[in-house]
Amino acid sequence: MNRHTLSNGLRIVHHEDPTTQMVAVNILYNVGARHEDPEHTGYAHLLEHLMFEGSVNIPDYDAHVQFAGGENNAWTNNDFTNYYLTMPRSNVETAFWLESDRMTGLSLTEQSVEVQKGVVIEEFKQRHLNRPYGDIQHLIRAMAYKVHPYRWPTIGLCVDHIERATLSNVLNFYHRYYAPSNAILSVVGNITFDEAVRLSEKWFGSIQNHSNCHLEHDAIKNLTIEPVQTRIHRKTVYRSVPADMLVMAFHMGDRKSREYHVCDLITDLLSAGQSSRLVRHLIHDLHLFTSIDAYIQGSIDEGLLYVMGRLTEDTTLAQAEQALWDELTLLKRTTVAPEELNKVRNRAESERTFNNINYLNRAVAMAQLELIGQDRELTDELARYCTVSAEEIRQTARKLFTKKNCCVLHYRSNSSQGRFHLKH
């Protein structure tokens, strides 16, 4: 992987891939829901929508992408916002032009902000308020985090925050975070390093950081540290859903820690595939769940490891919870067999290896690794998974899977409740 930094602070990471005629130009901004004011949440996601509204120079962003034979998309999470373009190598300069123009300035108006607010509010309602189990993230995050901004999901804490957003609010957020010194440009595909640097200097080199942007490359300093949880947190809700669901969340290490990779493999041991422990024991053998899953949040700061599943009609939440605790206790008390450990390590290696064959996936992964500042080569990241030991899994399980480190949500079905509403 090649690197270059412009005088304005924009970081460039590059990898040449002559096996394709395409180029991925990915730009990651170090801003997500964690950087929002607790009274004005949902702005990072709203601004992602507004970044496609065009500028004075380019009123119709998507049209130029299509004319050049390219594709584009974006997403936001709690830690960052990511935009990507894929272009034929012959039209790659169009990608640099388009992204530099959006960084220079948007032509936002009261009308465009109102339109996208409406789109985001509708998304909020469809995915989180009116969708079965859609408010789980709001409920669990509020239980697990009391001071850290992970206590609200990317969409925002509530619809009211988005409804109250003004053009001035959005522009202030844009000027604070959308700047060269707060961005990483990742270029992967059939393009040389020299050409990638030349085009970066040409289109991004003259962009100045905004006067109110005083950010460092790492996450914003002095971000509130979440206190250690000292007792189990429980909550029961009733919703109009087809079946009861049990959700358990455990605090875990941050993205830079060794614990992150160990936890990732633990969730694979628990629920990845039909031969995994929870699927085999709790679905097929005991018939307690109809579906079950375990996964990590993947956040840069200390995150959450989730274990959750839908119950069969004859299973009580107390039975389901005890069965899960039994499985987690077994992981704490016994050593994972070599063949079981090799299975999940091989799975992790193959998934990431095949994923990184694609030039776009590689561009996205490179930008994220550059942001966290560790395992800056994709092979280094892969090695972390391949070297996880059985004893590390047992010790990490002993540390994490305790009552005082757990948030338990009993999500109960109640057909008489009708349409449900998110409460704060």
DSSP string across 5-50: E-TTS-EEEEEE-TT-SEEEEEEEES--GGGSBTTB-SHHHHHHHH
For the chain, give every residue range classified as CATH 3.30.830.10: 2-204, 233-417
Q: What percent of the chain has pLDDT over 90?
A: 85
Asked whether 323 and 282 are in contact (CB, 8 A), the reply is: yes
CA dist 137 and 156 (Å) reads: 11
Q: Which residues pair with 85 in a beta bridge?
A: 25, 72
For residues 225-254, average pLDDT: 96
What is the arithmetic mean of pLDDT over 68-96? Answer: 96
pLDDT tens sequence across 311-356: 999 999 999 999 999 999 999 999 999 999 999 999 998 988 888 8
The Cα 156–Cα 292 span in angstroms is: 27
CATH architecture type of domain 233-417: 2-Layer Sandwich (3.30)
Q: From the CA atom positions of the chain, what is the Rg in Å?
A: 23
Please tell me whether residue 370 adopts helix, strand or coil conformation. Answer: helix
Residue with tokens 């409740």: 417
Q: For the residues 277-281, what does the mean pLDDT come to? A: 97
Calculate helix-pair angle for 110-124, 43-50, nearest 10 degrees. 120
Mean pLDDT of 253-269: 95
- At residue 134 the predicted structure's pLDDT band, cuts being 50, 70 and 90, is very high
Instruction: Annotate 339-371 with b (16+ C-beta within 10 A) or e (fewer).
Output: ebbebbbebbeeebeeebeebbbbbbbbbbbbb
Res. 144: pLDDT tops 80: yes
Whether the per-residue pLDDT at 309 is higher than 60: the answer is: yes
Give mean pLDDT, residues 159-176. Answer: 95
- Output phi, psi for 184, to 5 deg: -130, 125
Task: Report, as an integer, the average pLDDT of 254-276.
Answer: 95
Average pLDDT over residues 81-89: 97
Contact partners, residue 107, CB within 8 Å, separation at least 6: 53, 54, 55, 56, 59
pLDDT at 254: 94
313 CB-contact burial (10 Å; exposed 0-12 / middle 13-18 / buried 19+): exposed
Confidence band of 376 (pLDDT split at 50, 70, 90)? low
**Confidence (pLDDT) at 414:** 85
Indicate whether 2 pLDDT > 50. yes
CA distance 397 to 193: 44
Residue 218 has pLDDT above 90, yes or no: no
Say if domain 2-204 classifies as CATH 2.60.40.3670.
no
- Residues 253 and 260: their CA atoms lie apart, in Å, by 6
Helices (H) then strands (E): counts for the chain: 15, 11
- Tokens encoding 58: 């380019």
Distance from the Cα of residue 256 to its chain's centroid? 15
- The confidence band for 211, taking pLDDT boundaries of 50, 70 and 90, is low
The two tokens of residue 9 are: 């602070």
**CB-based contacts of 128: which residues, under 8 Å, 6+ apart?**
134, 135, 137, 138, 153, 155, 422
pLDDT of residue 420: 37
Q: What is the mean predicted confidence (pLDDT) over 41-48?
A: 97
Q: How confident is the model at residue 422 (pLDDT cuts 50, 70, 90)?
A: very low
